[in-house]
């Protein structure tokens, strides 16, 4: 206690220098915490997007993730309704579940016979109401409104396509898609009828005529290989074209009702799906849920060739983004730490020079080298503790101010601006770790000046009196 009291009084002897040192420490800690809070908000935002889209976990055929995207019919999940029912009724997993829903993803070709154009597409068939409930997941309380799928409450033969698909299929005018070339938006007034073989594949009683612009929802045909490898066609009504946030996805996306997608691939055969998405109430429940699913696959579902994948595996971009931001944060933290290190070292060095006579006097009256060294290191610790406390308080205030201003930004993969937020309050791990590092850096910064002070010759030090 005597050492702590003496160190505090020594720091107050030169208030200006101590204040400048504290200012550098506070600014450094505030910078680290604000940037860390910004990264944390991006991390939670990405996690929320992926969990809303794919769930926390998915049950897939054990080889689908590696080989099944090009042949979903061969790597489908049979008896998926039994599997969904087993998961929902399991006494361990059931309390953790928010949504369990099947998904079918297939590749195919979309054609607009009215314009004589087609393109490869990626079709996603979902249970729309389940997907709407998945979109309500907001474990991190983002101030955003839940947007329901456009397929909600529509007929089974309805579809939603990406704006890139709409442009290629020349449906810009019918679907009010901007940025289309004039000639690409034109559709012949007298659209050609479908050939008899295409009409038969699509299940139509007679050759169908594509709906001209202005007469309702445009109609397109989807061609895909069925479970036996033969081509199959389904005609669907396009409700709207919606930008998907990423151009590569927007250029191929088509959303269908699950029943329509299953009919396109499996026809009258028993339907399958490519995945069963499992969304939990909390991300923290993921390890426990995954462990239980592995137990079910080894017991109740032993005969099913299934594998459990989490959202990080399903979305590699999430891990890549986290790694990138972690590297940036680490780089900034090292720079700030170096600045604090040299600032405190300089402050302690000047204090040693100014107090040379005092050090000689203390040594002359019986203070040991270790006592001198401890006194200066304690001064560094005091500076670090005060700087950490002030830095945390300042960061909390500034973060709250930024969150209340209402700034927005458009992150990658988003289709609309989101609030700019800095998550500092409540991030106890980040706050404690940052404060602890600052205190350690301040203490380490005082070690060299303290060692120099402890090594002073008593007679030489007293000459400065």
Write out the DSSP string of 311-375.
HHHH-HHHHHHHHHHHHHHHHHHHHHHHHHHHHHHHHHHHHHHHTHHHHHHHHHTT--HHHHHHH
Q: Are residues 326 and 256 in the same domain?
A: no
Q: What pLDDT, on the 0 to 100 scale, is given for residue 298?
A: 93
Section 381-410 average pLDDT: 91
Q: For residue 370, which of 450, 446, 458, 461 has the smallest C-alpha distance?
A: 450
The answer on pLDDT for 203 being more than 70 is no
Q: With beta carbons less than 8 A apart as the criterion, state whether 158 and 236 touch.
A: yes
Q: What pLDDT, on the 0 to 100 scale, is given for residue 213?
A: 42
The set of residues, in sequence order, having a beta carbon less than 8 Å from that of 390 and lying 6+ positions away, is: 22, 26
Q: Which two tokens stand for residue 419?
A: 């609030």
Cα 104 from Cα 117, distance rounded (Å): 25
Largest CA distance in the chain: 112
Q: Does residue 312 form part of some domain?
A: no
Q: What pLDDT, on the 0 to 100 scale, is given for residue 207?
A: 42
Q: What pLDDT, on the 0 to 100 scale, is given for residue 208?
A: 44
User: Burial code of 123-160, b = ≥16 C-beta within 10 A, e = fewer?
Assistant: bbbbbbebbbbbbebeebeeeeeeeebbbeebeebbbb
Q: Quote the mean pLDDT of the chain.
A: 85
Last residue of a domain, one of 264, 280, 304: 304
Q: Are residues 213 and 280 in the same domain?
A: yes
Q: For residue 159, which of 184, 122, 187, 186 has the smallest C-alpha distance?
A: 122
Q: What pLDDT, on the 0 to 100 scale, is given for residue 189?
A: 41
Q: Is 116 left (phi over 0), alpha (psi -120 to 50) or beta?
A: left
Helix (H, G, I), strand (E, B) or coil at 285: helix
Q: Are residues 111 and 239 in the same domain?
A: yes
Q: Between the CA of residue 253 and those of 18, 108, 123, 158, 249, what are the distances in Å?
A: 61, 11, 6, 14, 6
Q: Are residues 279 and 177 in the same domain?
A: yes
Q: Which residues pair with 418 in a beta bridge?
A: 409
Q: Are residues 325 and 273 in the same domain?
A: no
Q: For residue 234, which of 104, 123, 78, 151 has the smallest C-alpha distance?
A: 123
More confident residue, 181 or 340: 340
Cα 160 from Cα 254, distance rounded (Å): 6
Q: What pLDDT, on the 0 to 100 scale, is given for residue 286?
A: 96
Section 89-99 average pLDDT: 95
Cα 352 from Cα 453, distance rounded (Å): 6
Last residue of a domain, one of 276, 304, 332: 304
- Where does 179-218 show beta strands of DSSP type E? none
Q: Does residue 42 form part of some domain?
A: yes
Q: Are residues 167 and 212 in the same domain?
A: yes
Q: Between the CA of residue 189 and those of 115, 186, 212, 389, 460, what are the distances in Å?
A: 10, 9, 6, 73, 104
Q: Does residue 261 form part of some domain?
A: yes
Q: For residue 18, which of 382, 453, 411 has the smallest C-alpha distance?
A: 382
End-to-end CA distance of the chain: 28
pLDDT digits (tens, 9 = 90+) for 3-45: 777 777 777 777 888 888 899 999 999 999 999 999 999 999 8
Q: Does residue 421 form part of some domain?
A: yes
Place of tokens 């929902």: 88
The set of residues, in sequence order, having a beta carbon less than 8 Å from that of 88 and lying 6+ positions away, is: 94, 97, 100
Last residue of a domain, one of 241, 273, 304: 304
DSSP, res 269:
S
Cα 453–chain centre separation: 51
Q: Are residues 103 and 34 in the same domain?
A: no
Q: Does residue 366 form part of some domain?
A: yes
**Structural domain boundaries, residue 101:** 63-304
The answer on pLDDT for 215 being more than 80 is no
Cα 438 from Cα 442, distance rounded (Å): 6
Among positive and negative, which fits the CA dihedral 350, 354, 360, 361? negative
Q: Are residues 41 and 76 in the same domain?
A: no
Q: Are residues 193 and 330 in the same domain?
A: no
pLDDT digits (tens, 9 = 90+) for 328-369: 999 999 999 898 888 888 888 888 887 788 778 877 887 788
Specify the number of domains making up the chain: 2
Q: Between the CA of residue 2 and those of 6, 371, 443, what are the distances in Å?
A: 6, 11, 18
Section 193-205 average pLDDT: 54
Q: What pLDDT, on the 0 to 100 scale, is given for residue 345?
A: 87
More confident residue, 267 or 433: 433
Q: What pLDDT, on the 0 to 100 scale, is given for residue 190?
A: 42
The enclosing H or E element of 201 equals helix 196-201
């Amino acid at each position: 206690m005597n050492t702590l009291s003496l160190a505090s009084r020594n720091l107050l002897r030169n208030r200006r220098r101590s204040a400048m040192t504290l200012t550098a420490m506070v600014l450094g800690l505030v910078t680290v915490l604000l940037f860390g809070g910004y990264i944390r908000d991006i991390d939670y935002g990405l996690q929320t997007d992926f969990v809303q889209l794919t769930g926390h976990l998915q049950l897939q055929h054990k080889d689908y993730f590696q080989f099944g995207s090009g042949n979903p019919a061969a790597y489908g999940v049979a008896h998926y309704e039994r599997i969904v029912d087993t998961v929902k009724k399991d006494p361990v997993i059931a309390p953790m579940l928010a949504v369990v829903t099947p998904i079918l993803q297939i590749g195919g070709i979309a054609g607009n016979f009215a314009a004589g154009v087609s393109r490869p597409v990626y079709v996603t068939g979902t249970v729309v109401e389940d997907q709407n409930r998945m979109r309500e997941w907001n474990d991190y309380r983002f101030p955003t409104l839940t947007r329901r799928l456009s397929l909600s409450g529509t007929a089974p033969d309805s579809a939603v396509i990406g704006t890139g698909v709409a442009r290629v299929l020349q449906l810009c005018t019918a679907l009010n898609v901007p940025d289309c070339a004039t000639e690409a938006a034109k559709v012949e007034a007298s659209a050609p009828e479908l050939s008899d073989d295409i009409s038969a594949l699509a299940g139509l009683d007679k050759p169908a005529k594509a709906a001209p612009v202005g007469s309702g929802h445009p109609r397109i045909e989807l061609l895909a290989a069925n479970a036996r490898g033969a081509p199959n066609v389904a005609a669907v009504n396009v409700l709207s074209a919606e930008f998907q946030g990423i151009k590569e996805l927007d250029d191929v996306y088509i959303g269908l009702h699950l029943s329509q997608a299953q009919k396109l691939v499996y026809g009258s055969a028993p339907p399958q799906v490519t995945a069963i998405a499992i969304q939990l109430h909390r991300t923290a429940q993921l390890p426990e849920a995954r462990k239980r699913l592995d137990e079910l696959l080894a017991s109740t579902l032993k005969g099913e060739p299934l594998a459990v994948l989490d959202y990080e595996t399903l979305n590699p971009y999430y891990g890549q983004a986290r790694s990138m931001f972690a590297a940036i944060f680490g780089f900034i933290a090292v720079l700030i730490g170096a600045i604090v290190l040299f600032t405190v070292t300089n402050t302690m060095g000047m204090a040693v020079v100014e107090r040379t006579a005092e050090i000689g006097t203390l040594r002359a009256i019986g203070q040991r080298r270790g006592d001198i060294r401890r006194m200066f290191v304690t001064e560094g610790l005091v500076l670090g503790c005060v700087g950490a406390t002030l830095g945390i308080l300042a960061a909390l205030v500034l973060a709250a101010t930024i969150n209340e201003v209402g700034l927005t930004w458009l992150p990658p993969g988003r289709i609309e601006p989101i609030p700019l937020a800095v998550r500092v309050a409540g991030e106890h791990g980040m706050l404690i770790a940052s404060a602890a590092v600052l205190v350690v850096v301040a203490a380490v910064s005082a070690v060299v000046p303290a060692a120099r002070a402890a090594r002073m010759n008593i007679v030489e030090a007293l000459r400065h009196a």
